[in-house]
A and B are shown apart, each in its own frame.
Chain A
Amino acid sequence: MGAWLHDSLTWSDAIIIFLWAVVFLFVVLGFVTYAIYFERKVIGWMQLRIGPNRVGPLGMLQTVADIFKLLIKEDTIPRKADRLLFVLAPILCYVPAFTVLAVIPYTEKLYFADLNVGLLYYAALSGISTLAIVLGGWASNNKYALLGGMRSAAQMISYEVPLVISVVGVILLSGSLNLRDIVDAQAGGWFWDWNFLPQIIGFVVFLIAAVSELNRTPFDLPEAESELVAGYHVEYSGFRFAFFMLSEYVYVYAIAALTTVLFLGGWHAPAPFLDFVPGIIWFLLKFAFIVFFLFWIRATFPRIRVDQLMGLGWKVLLPVSLLNVFLTAGYLELFVK
Chain B
Amino acid sequence: MIRTEELLLNVGPQHPSTHGVFRIVVKLDGEVITEATPVMGYLHRGTEKLAEQLNYTQIIPYTDRMDYVSAMTNNYVLVHAVETMMNLEIPERAEFMRLIVMELQRIASHLVWWGTYLLDIGAMSPFLYAFRDREIIINLFNELSGARLTYNYMRVGGVKWDAPPGWLDKVRDFIPYMKGKLREYDKLVSGNEIFLARIKGIGRYDAATAINYGLSGANLRCTGVDWDLRKAEPYSLYNRFEFDVPLGKNGDCYDRYVIRLEEIRQSLRILEQALEQMPSGGETMGKVPRAIRPPAGEVYVRIESPRGEIGCHIVSKGKAEPYRLKFRRPSFVNLQILPKLLVGETMTNLITILGGVDIVVGEVDC
Tell me the complex Cα distance, A306–B288, Å.
60
Contact B17 A301 (CB under 8 A): no
Closest 3 CB pairs of A and B: A303-B122, A302-B123, A47-B128
The answer to whether A226 and B119 touch (CB under 8 A), given A43-B124, A147-B31, is yes
A-B contact pairs, 23 of them (CB 8 A): A43-B125, A47-B125, A47-B129, A48-B129, A143-B9, A224-B122, A226-B17, A227-B348, A227-B350, A228-B347, A300-B123, A301-B122, A301-B192, A301-B194, A302-B121, A302-B192, A303-B122, A303-B123, A304-B197, A304-B198, A305-B348, A306-B31, A306-B348
Pick from B31, B125, B346, B348: contact of A300, CB under 8 Å: B125
Residue numbers of B with Cβ under 8 A of A are: 7, 9, 15-17, 31, 118-125, 128-129, 132, 188-189, 192, 194-195, 197-198, 346-351
Contact A49 B348 (CB under 8 A): no
Tell me the complex Cα distance, A47–B120, Å.
17
Contact A49 B128 (CB under 8 A): yes
Cβ-based interface call for A299 (8 A): yes
The answer to whether A48 and B194 touch (CB under 8 A), given A220-B122, A227-B348, A302-B118, is no
Min CB distance, B289 to chain A, in Å? 49
Min CB distance, B247 to chain A, in Å? 25
Min CB distance, A109 to chain B, in Å? 41
Contact B123 A308 (CB under 8 A): no
Min CB distance, B28 to chain A, in Å? 8
Q: Which residue of B lies closest to A299 (CB)?
A: B125
Cβ-based interface call for A225 (8 A): yes
Contact B346 A305 (CB under 8 A): yes
Chain B contacts of A74 at CB under 8 A? none
Chain A contacts of B198 at CB under 8 A? 302-305, 308
Contact A46 B125 (CB under 8 A): yes
Contact B124 A299 (CB under 8 A): yes
Chain B contacts of A302 at CB under 8 A? 118, 121-123, 189, 192, 194-195, 198
Contact A226 B16 (CB under 8 A): yes
Chain A contacts of B346 at CB under 8 A? 305-307
Contact B122 A217 (CB under 8 A): yes
Chain A contacts of B125 at CB under 8 A? 43, 46-47, 299-300
Chain B contacts of A307 at CB under 8 A? 346
Write the A298-337 contact mask toward B (1 if CB under 8 angstroms, else 0): 1111111111100000000000000000000000000000
Please give 20 more A-B residue pairs, beta carbons under 8 A apart, in addition to A224-B122, A303-B122.
A46-B125, A48-B128, A48-B129, A143-B9, A217-B122, A217-B123, A218-B194, A220-B122, A226-B16, A226-B121, A227-B17, A227-B348, A227-B350, A301-B122, A302-B195, A302-B198, A303-B121, A305-B346, A308-B197, A308-B198
Cβ-based interface call for A123 (8 A): no
Tell me the complex Cα distance, A327–B16, Å.
46
Cβ-based interface call for A229 (8 A): yes
Tell me the complex Cα distance, A229–B347, Å.
12
Q: Name the interface residues of A193-238: CB closer than 8 Å to any CB of B.
A: 217-218, 220, 224-229
Tell me the complex Cα distance, A308–B346, Å.
12
Chain B contacts of A300 at CB under 8 A? 123, 125, 188
Chain B contacts of A303 at CB under 8 A? 121-123, 194, 198
Q: Which residue of A lies closest to B31 (CB)?
A: A306
Q: Which residue of B lies closest to A46 (CB)?
A: B125
Pick from A46, A226, A308: contact of B122, CB under 8 Å: A226
Min CB distance, B22 to chain A, in Å? 14
Tell me the complex Cα distance, A304–B198, Å.
7
Chain A contacts of B347 at CB under 8 A? 147, 227-228
Chain B contacts of A143 at CB under 8 A? 7, 9
Min CB distance, B362 to chain A, in Å? 20
Contact A229 B16 (CB under 8 A): yes
Chain A contacts of B350 at CB under 8 A? 227
Tell me the complex Cα distance, A305–B253, Å.
15
Write the A19-58 contact mask toward B (1 if CB under 8 angstroms, else 0): 0000000000000000000000001001111000000000
Tell me the complex Cα distance, A229–B13, Å.
12
Min CB distance, B81 to chain A, in Å? 37
